Amino acid sequence: MKQIDVVKSVVDTLKRVLPKDKELISLHEPTFQGNEWNYVKECIDTGWVSSVGKYVNQFEQMLVEYTGVKHAIAVVNGTAALHICLKLVGVQPNDEVLIPALTFIATANAVSYCGAIPHFVDSSNDTLGIDPFKLDYYLDEICERRKDGSYNKITGRRIKAMVPMHTFGHPVDLDALFDVCIRYQIEMVEDTAESLGSYYKGKHTGNWGKASALSFNGNKVVTTGGGGAILTNDEQLGKFAKHLTTTAKKPHRWTFEHDHVGYNYRMPNINAALGCAQIEKLPTYVQQKRALADIYKEAFRDMKGIQVIAEPVNAKSNYWLNAILLDEDRASLRDDILERTNEQGIMTRPVWRLLHNFPMFADSPKMDVSVAESLEARIINIPSSPFLGASYG
């Protein structure tokens, strides 16, 4: 098939699947079909709009019940959640933290907030997340193991933590990565920003890391406008997380006593109210998104040189963002496809720019990231809003 015909086929296939009555089809827009108006209006009517109110506690309890994690602490956004998670596991200034080169920049930013150094690692073709086997081989080469952990023989810095990210909602190989963490005395912090509603071997993501971070940005499966949450199965860490994110203020009826450098990260009640209504609809949203993924897979099934990225083995994905992957000999078509689809009112986008290519992270350590480089050149995200799968669910 000629190159120009491939581009046209992608555009025509998307047009065939997507609604005909919309001038612009966003990549991912929020869906409000439940009690959002009622719950938010109650906050306004009663005046409970800030960080104190019944919906914050209710939202946290709903997250606990849905994910199976024992403790949830609602915060202002996913980056704040990840920042606190890293502090909870003991990341200190000048530590190194292993993160995928292929992730949103918030992952590296949160590491930097701790005064730590992001150490970029490669991805797996199977999961799009950290490749545990390639990483294990790499760490065996560069690590010096001491009683208090593993140290980078090249930089002399301690490698304190690893942050696997579940790309587009597809769970990484958590068991294998957890084994790597145990072997090298590295703490795991899961970046579950994109994976609410995703399961690995029947268990919700966020249950493997000592602490995990969720995001409820406007483009996530569930939104609170802006917001995030810290998940942990450790009771003491959960209590400390709530304390730190509430400016480390000690309980008292009127005095202001603080015992740590704290953070004003608590989620407002009005945002939590929106989140409660959204979680009530979460099973429906995930069902619709998975139905849309199945339609995409069928629509692109016979198109040579292009495949729809599917959930990994042993995983059930929420398909937060659907994506197509071009074969390597079609990679040169990526920008043509992006241009043509957006011209037609179908919002598509490339995957994130690899983080080591940004000037502020150019000097950070990294392993060979050739798989991530290949994926970056060939991935295109396509419209994934839940309502797009409603007629198929």
DSSP string, 67-99: H--SEEEEES-HHHHHHHHHHHTT--TT-EEEE
Furthest-apart CA atoms within the chain: distance in Å? 74
Lowest-confidence range among 230-234, 300-304, 351-355?
A: 300-304
On whether the CB atoms of residues 283 and 277 are closer than 8 A, the answer is no
262 has a pLDDT exceeding 70 = yes
How many other β-carbons are positioned within 10 Å of the β-carbon of residue 313? 9
Strand partners, 307: 325
CB-based contacts of 37, cutoff 8 Å, min separation 6:
none
Average pLDDT score over residue span 78-104: 98
Average pLDDT score over residue span 180-184: 98
Domain locations in the chain?
3-31+282-389, 36-280
Give the model confidence (pLDDT) of 14-48 as tens digits: 999 999 888 899 999 999 999 999 999 999 999 98
H or E stretch covering 240:
helix 235-244
Burial (CB < 10 A; 0-12, 13-18, 19+), residue 328, is exposed
Return the CATH number of the domain spanning residue range 36-280: 3.40.640.10
User: pLDDT confidence of 252, banded at 50, 70, 90?
Assistant: confident
Q: What is the pLDDT of residue 56?
A: 97
The rounded percent of the chain whose pLDDT value lies above 90 is: 92
Q: What is the pLDDT of residue 1?
A: 54
User: What is the spatial distance between Cα 71 and Cα 60, in angstroms, rounded to a whole number?
Assistant: 8
Average pLDDT score over residue span 352-357: 98
* pLDDT higher at 389 or 392: 389
Single pTM value for the model:
0.95
Q: What is the pLDDT of residue 352?
A: 97
What is 3-31+282-389's CATH topology?
Answer: Aspartate Aminotransferase, domain 1 (3.90.1150)
Mean pLDDT of the chain: 96
250 has a pLDDT exceeding 70 = yes
Give the model confidence (pLDDT) of 264-318 as tens digits: 999 999 999 999 999 999 999 999 999 999 999 999 999 999 999 999 999 999 9
Give the model confidence (pLDDT) of 96-111 as tens digits: 999 999 999 999 999 9
Q: What is the pLDDT of residue 2?
A: 60
User: pLDDT confidence of 346, banded at 50, 70, 90?
Assistant: very high
Report CA-CA distances (Å) from 262 to 50, 83, 87, 222: 18, 12, 11, 27
On whether the CB atoms of residues 53 and 39 are closer than 8 A, the answer is no
Q: Do domains 3-31+282-389 and 36-280 have the same CATH topology?
A: no
393 has a pLDDT exceeding 90 = no
